[in-house]
Chain A
Amino acid sequence: MNEFALGFSVAALVKGALTTLVVTFGASLVAIVLGLIAGLLRVSPLWPLRWFAIGYIEFFRGTSLLVQVYLLFFVLPIFGVALAPWTVAIFGIGMNVSAYGAELVRAAIQAVDRGQYEASIALNFPRLTMMRRIVLPQAVRIMLPPWGNLLIELLKSTSLIFFITITELTAASKLAADATGNYLLFFAVALFGYYVIARALITPVVRWLERRLSSGFVRQVLS
């Protein structure tokens, strides 16, 4: 193997991994914030808000992520809105994943025991205070494990942003493999890279939050 090609490839790989990390982090923030908002609107007693949330969720969940990213990147400029590739990557993936997240939020809110709502009404809580103080703290605990799944999914879907000119981990591995001819090594590195990012960054945060929010609940005997 040519040493120059190897050195160049490793540098590109590191840069690609960093790109994946940054996009994952940014898109996760967007997904969590928008997912929470859309999920809360989805259970709103006001039908226009509810319908808006349903429309949002159906669109972003029901159509292809890659096509959505293409739309933002290639079609919006036709209407005079040219977004930087990084903006498209972070918001495109973030909004797509937020639609799945919104359904997790809705399911978790609806899984909170009915008695909790009734006790809140009996204690005269206004609806928003009830959501903030009583329902959400319990719902967040329920929705954490599936959110962990979703963010790992998000991490892996960042490979699509190669199609809008960003060289992330998968693309960098492919380029390195092409340049050096060592496909086994570089695809193994890419495979392992995603696993390490998920295992070292996403899972511990979710586990830590789960533990923090578990005071007052039965510790999972089975986990």
Chain B
Amino acid sequence: MNEPRIRFENIAKRYGALTVLDNPDIPCNGKVMNEPMVRFENVTKRYGALTVLNELNLSIARNEKVCIIGPSGSGKTTVLRMLMTLERINGGVIWVDGEPLTHVQKGDRMVLASDRHLRRVRGKIGMVFQHFNLFPHMTALQNCMEAPVSVLGLPKKDAEARAAELLDMVGLSDKKNHFPIQLSGGQKQRVAIARALAMRPKVMLFDEVTSALDPELIGEVLSVIRTLGAEHDLTMLMVTHQMGFAKEFSDRVCFFYDGKIIEQGPPDQLLGNPQNERTRQFLSAVLEAK
């Protein structure tokens, strides 16, 4: 790795008791990451008596591609859902692009943020779901135009041009006037990706986006994600069961078990030579299923 042009050495920044930056000397992909794009700080999530995530700490650098793997019930999807504000957190703070997502600074205390703040910060995040969640009463093109028009206030013509361009990118320009019901699973998921991208997010979340697809349709969706990662400045966080894809695509793989990150590292290391017993068990179970 070349010597980075900018280098932060042991810089710390605190707001009261909250440490925002703590020795951020993390060169990543040859770039210096002065501040992570997403940071979970001691985030806890409970459903009643059940603790799904326990004091999670996880930083994701700008443009970093992180895959989350783990057995079901390990809390991996909850991580994405909390970041998308679909789940309320019970403790800790989530930082997005240097701003707290669900809280605001008031004096030296953190208080719950207003809806306006939440919506502003949330605008930086886009999400693609396992079950697509396309709007059934709108065509592919309308699905991609709706939010840019009614949320961002884009003129219809511009939104349509943007939507058409994105549908072209995911290889569906010939299907733009089709309703979701007329599309295959893989096509639906590609529309869903285009729809999320139309909001120009900085962070993209993929929640088991190939799990509901027939095996022969998985490839087309993964290849769109691959292109996206290569051609756009996007921070990507992906929950997946596609180990092969995780290995070739991601910068880092996190293994979740029981609400905690048990092991994380570069994909070659974590998937090729896992150190933790749980990781080894999980990977051999996944490989056996193939």
Q: Are B151 and A125 neighbours in the complex by a CB distance under 8 Å?
A: yes
CA A106 – CA B147 in complex, angstroms?
25
Residue of A nearest to B142 (CB): A216
Given A215-B137, A217-B136; A126-B181 close (CB under 8 Å):
no
Asked if A63 is at the interface (CB within 8 A of a chain B CB), the reply is no
Residue of B nearest to A125 (CB): B151
State which residues 80-128 of A face B: CB under 8 Å: 113, 115-116, 118-119, 121-126
- CB neighbours (8 Å) of B134 from chain A are 119
- CB neighbours (8 Å) of A218 from chain B are 181
CA A137 – CA B137 in complex, angstroms?
8
Of A123, A126, A137, the most chain B CB neighbours within 10 A belong to A123
- CB neighbours (8 Å) of B15 from chain A are none
Contact string, B113-135, partner A, CB cutoff 8 A, digits 1/0?
00000010011011101011111
Asked if A149 is at the interface (CB within 8 A of a chain B CB), the reply is no
Asked if A134 is at the interface (CB within 8 A of a chain B CB), the reply is yes
Q: Are A122 and B126 neighbours in the complex by a CB distance under 8 Å?
A: yes
Q: Shortest distance in angstroms between A220's beta carbon and chain B's nearest beta carbon?
A: 13
Q: Are A216 and B196 neighbours in the complex by a CB distance under 8 Å?
A: no
Q: Shortest distance in angstroms between A143's beta carbon and chain B's nearest beta carbon?
A: 14
- CB neighbours (8 Å) of A134 from chain B are 135, 146
CA A141 – CA B137 in complex, angstroms?
10
Given A115-B129, A216-B137, A216-B181; A122-B84 close (CB under 8 Å):
yes
- CB neighbours (8 Å) of A133 from chain B are 146, 150
Residue of B nearest to A138 (CB): B137
CA A216 – CA B138 in complex, angstroms?
7
Given A134-B135, A213-B137, A215-B137; A124-B151 close (CB under 8 Å):
yes
- CB neighbours (8 Å) of B249 from chain A are none
Asked if B179 is at the interface (CB within 8 A of a chain A CB), the reply is yes
Q: Are A215 and B179 neighbours in the complex by a CB distance under 8 Å?
A: yes
- CB neighbours (8 Å) of A217 from chain B are 136-137, 181
Q: Are A126 and B126 neighbours in the complex by a CB distance under 8 Å?
A: no
Q: Are B131 and A115 neighbours in the complex by a CB distance under 8 Å?
A: yes
- CB neighbours (8 Å) of B129 from chain A are 115, 118-119, 122
Asked if B86 is at the interface (CB within 8 A of a chain A CB), the reply is yes
Asked if A129 is at the interface (CB within 8 A of a chain B CB), the reply is yes
Q: Shortest distance in angstroms between A140's beta carbon and chain B's nearest beta carbon?
A: 10
Asked if B89 is at the interface (CB within 8 A of a chain A CB), the reply is no
State which residues 73-110 of B face A: CB under 8 Å: 84-86
Residue of B nearest to A127 (CB): B115
> Which of A116, A118, A126 is close to B119, meaning CB atoms less than 8 Å apart?
A126
CA A116 – CA B196 in complex, angstroms?
14
- CB neighbours (8 Å) of B86 from chain A are 118, 121-122
> Which of B122, B133, B180, B199 is close to A216, meaning CB atoms less than 8 Å apart?
B180
- CB neighbours (8 Å) of B146 from chain A are 123, 133-134
Residue of A nearest to B123 (CB): A124
Asked if B195 is at the interface (CB within 8 A of a chain A CB), the reply is yes
Q: Shortest distance in angstroms between B244's beta carbon and chain A's nearest beta carbon?
A: 27
CA A68 – CA B195 in complex, angstroms?
51
> Which of A118, A123, A129, A138 is close to B196, meaning CB atoms less than 8 Å apart?
A123
Q: Are B151 and A129 neighbours in the complex by a CB distance under 8 Å?
A: yes
- CB neighbours (8 Å) of B137 from chain A are 137-138, 141, 213, 215-217
Q: Are A138 and B136 neighbours in the complex by a CB distance under 8 Å?
A: yes
Given A115-B129, A119-B129, A122-B86; A216-B150 close (CB under 8 Å):
no
Residue of B nearest to A123 (CB): B147
State which residues 182-223 of A face B: CB under 8 Å: 213, 215-218
Q: Shortest distance in angstroms between B107's beta carbon and chain A's nearest beta carbon?
A: 28
- CB neighbours (8 Å) of A113 from chain B are 133
30 contacts between A and B (CB under 8 A): A113-B133, A115-B131, A116-B135, A118-B84, A118-B86, A118-B133, A119-B135, A121-B85, A121-B86, A122-B86, A122-B127, A122-B196, A123-B195, A123-B196, A123-B199, A124-B119, A124-B123, A125-B147, A125-B150, A126-B151, A129-B150, A133-B146, A133-B150, A134-B135, A137-B137, A216-B136, A216-B137, A216-B180, A216-B181, A217-B137
**Apart from the given pairs A119-B129, A124-B199, A216-B136, 5 other A-B contacts in the complex at a CB distance below 8 Å:** A115-B133, A122-B127, A123-B151, A123-B196, A216-B180
Q: A residues touching B (Cβ–Cβ < 8 Å)? A: 113, 115-116, 118-119, 121-126, 129, 133-134, 137-138, 141, 213, 215-218
